[in-house]
A = this chain, B = another copy of it.
Amino acid sequence: MEDSVISSREEAAFEAGIKLGALYHQFTCTPISLATLESVEKAMEESVSLQPFVTSVRVKIDREKVKSSLNEFGYCELDGDMLDVRLTSQVDRATVTAKLSYDNELEYPLMKIVSIDDER
């Protein structure tokens, strides 16, 4: 059964996905070090905040993983495994909270819907 009536919850979930996918592929592989990762976190947060339907975003880069990945020139590339991102998107009255974080079992940076808040 086709149901072309798309809910605000579904729209908000779609928008949250877009932003996490975009963020990931825009910024991974950027050269970083312990001294510079704060400015990369900030640039990532601001870049996502600009986009429509985003109401909040927080980006954390795992210091320990950065430290253990430094090459002999003292930096490494931002890897998906280092990222911990939490964002909310809103469409009408539906708010989706989603996150990107490393899943130790899957050994994979996993994007996931945390919750959907639907004020009715």
Pair A3/B118 contact, Cβ less than 8 Å: yes
User: Is A117 interfacial (CB-CB < 8 Å)?
Assistant: yes
Chain B residues positioned under 8 Å from A56 (CB to CB): none
Residues of B within 8 A of A4 (CB): 115-116
Q: Does A32 contact B (CB under 8 A)?
A: yes
CB pairs A–B below 8 angstroms (9 shown): A7-B9, A13-B14, A16-B17, A17-B18, A23-B25, A29-B80, A31-B47, A71-B106, A72-B107
Residues of A that sit less than 8 Å from B by CB = 1-4, 6-7, 9-11, 13-26, 28-33, 35-36, 39-40, 42-43, 46-52, 71-75, 77, 80, 96, 98, 106-108, 111, 113, 115-120
